[in-house]
Structure 1
Amino acid sequence: MPLPRFYRLPPERQRAIIDAAKTEFAHHGPEAASYNAIIANAAISKTSAYQYFDGKDDVLGLVLSDVSDRLRRQLGTWIPAHTPDAFWARLREDSAGLVRFLEDNPLDRALADAAITRNATADERSWLAAVIENGVDLGVIRTDVDRELLTSASAAVLRVGDHWALAGGGDTDQIFSLLAGLWGPPHAR
């Protein structure tokens, strides 16, 4: 994360540095991105850069935290549904909103997986936990699987489903069919 001096910059200057870094990381990936290119694109000197960050990993942490925050704001708070039909409709609506956000924000889209992996927070887990809790209360989500395992598997399905939808995968009802299978009652073995 940035050094304290970064946070003393005016907000618009902070934003310009974050945006320059986000562009470099999105276009080249976190590993191949150039710290020198970030510095040049942010229009700061190398001396100033080292007053704000210890190195490229600090900048990456800041950018991924920003992406993670934007994703969380897009999802908002899960509002419990009162019927199974309303539950599925709300989940579809929230998922479609996230896909639209990622379509409209390609830099966030390029870094979303890295942000989620690196910055998995209680807020992100609590959103999905609230969805699952609501589904359990409505009887549409099984209770025979450990809740943490179910949350992790559900997060993976949603993440892959979002990527698939963004790539033009086809009928998004397949994502919810997959979730319904994961969440539904156990099948005889």
Structure 2
Amino acid sequence: MPHPRFDRLAPERRRAILEVAAEEFAEHGFDGASYNRIIERAGFSKGTAYYYFEGKEDLYATVIGLTVEGLLGQVGKWTPPRDAEDFWRQFRSIYLALLDFILGDERSARLLHGMSQARMNPKLQSAWLRFEAPLTAWLQRVLAEGRTVGAVRTDLPEDLLLVAMMGLGQATDFWMLEQWERHGAPALRRSAEQVLSLFEELAAGRRAHKAPPTRKR
């Protein structure tokens, strides 16, 4: 997190610094971004930069935090579902709202893509856990409400299903952003339907409860 003195800067100055940093991280990712280049473009000295931030990792975490806030701001409010159909309707609506945000904001999409690559960086573990904790809590609540209306399977331990859903989300986020970079928006929209199907099959356990197909003689 930035030092408290950063918050005492004029709002337009804070925005200018974070804009420069966001552009650098979006273009080069965390590893390729240059802290010195950000400092130079933002128009202050290296000593002043450390007056506001611990270093490159701290500045990156601040930029990503604002990006995630913007992403979550596009998501519709989750309400306790009436039934299984309402559960999956809301889940689908939220997922597609996130997709629309990514398609409409290329810089944020690149930052999120970079975040998916940087989540295993030891220097960013504390920042990543700070972003992941609220999402994990939200998904845990959503799955619990899904069980009450028969939308979510009950044959697996709750913590196992939560971990599996989070893992699937991380893997498909990375894959979706790769599809977007390689093939553009149409491919991303087609891929979204496949990802949603995977989420439903994992959470609802449809395959686990289907009878095996009979062989034709």
Matched, 1:174 2:194: yes
Q: Which residue identity does 2:199 align to in structure 1? A: L
Q: Which amino acid aligns with 1:91?
A: F
Question: Residue 91 of structure 1 aligns to a residue in which SS?
Answer: helix
Tell me, yes or no, if structure 1 residue 10 matches structure 2 residue 30: no
Cα deviation for residue 53 of structure 1 reads 1.7
Q: Encode CA deviations 1:3-45: one digit per residue, 9 max, x unaligned.
A: 2221110222112211211110111010110011111222223
Gaps of 5+ in 2: 120-127, 181-186, 213-217
- For 1:153 and 1:164, locate their aligned partners in 2 and report how far apart those are by CA, in whole Å: 18
For the residues of structure 1 that align with 2:162 and 2:72, how far apart are their CA atoms?
A: 17
* Superposed displacement of residue 87, structure 1: 1.5
Secondary structure at the counterpart of residue 74 of structure 2:
helix
Partner residue, 2:56: 56
Q: What CA distance in whole angstroms lies between the structure 2 residues aligned with 1:130 and 1:74? A: 19
Deviates more, 1:128-137 or 1:94-103: 128-137
- TM-score normalized by structure 2? 0.76
| Cα distance in 2 between the residues matched to 1:147 and 1:41 | 48
Preserved contact between residue 16 and residue 42 of structure 2 (Cα < 8 Å) = yes
- Give the length in aligned residue pairs: 189
Paired residue type of 2:62: L
Equivalence for 2:147: 136
Give the match for residue 74 of structure 1: 74
Q: Are residue 157 (structure 1) and residue 177 (structure 2) matched?
A: no
Structure 1: stretches of 5+ with no match in the other structure: none
Which stretch has the larger CA shift, 150-159 or 50-59? 150-159
- Distance in 1 (CA, whole Å) between partners of 2:193 and 2:59 is 38
C-alpha separation in 1, matches of 2:66 and 2:26: 13
Looking at structure 2, the residues matched to 58 and 137 of structure 1 have their Cα atoms a distance apart, in angstroms, of: 41
Following the alignment from structure 1 to structure 2, what is the Cα–Cα distance between the partners of residues 156 and 99?
18
User: For the Cα contact (< 8 Å) 1:64–1:111, is it kept in 2?
Assistant: yes
CA apart distance, 1:57:
1.6
The question of 1:184 aligning with 2:204 is answered yes
* Distance in structure 2 (CA, Å) of the matches to 1:151 and 1:72: 20
**d(CA) in 1 for partners of 2:104 and 2:77?**
21
Matches of 1:70 and 1:155 in 2, distance apart?
A: 20
Question: Secondary structure at the residue paired with 1:78?
Answer: coil
Shift of 1:82: 0.6
Q: Determine if the alignment matches structure 1 residue 23 to structure 2 residue 23.
A: yes
Question: Partner of 2:157 in structure 1?
Answer: 146
RMSD over aligned Cα, in angstroms?
A: 2.5
Aligned residues with identical type, % of pairs: 35
- Give the CA deviation at 1:136: 0.8
Distance between the aligned counterparts of 1:52 and 1:160, measured in 2?
34
Deviation at 1:73, TM superposition (A): 2.4
Larger Rg computed on CA atoms: 2
Task: Report the CA distance between 1:130 and its aligned residue.
Answer: 2.5
- Code of the aligned partner of 1:184: A
CA distance in 2, matches of 1:21, 1:179: 34
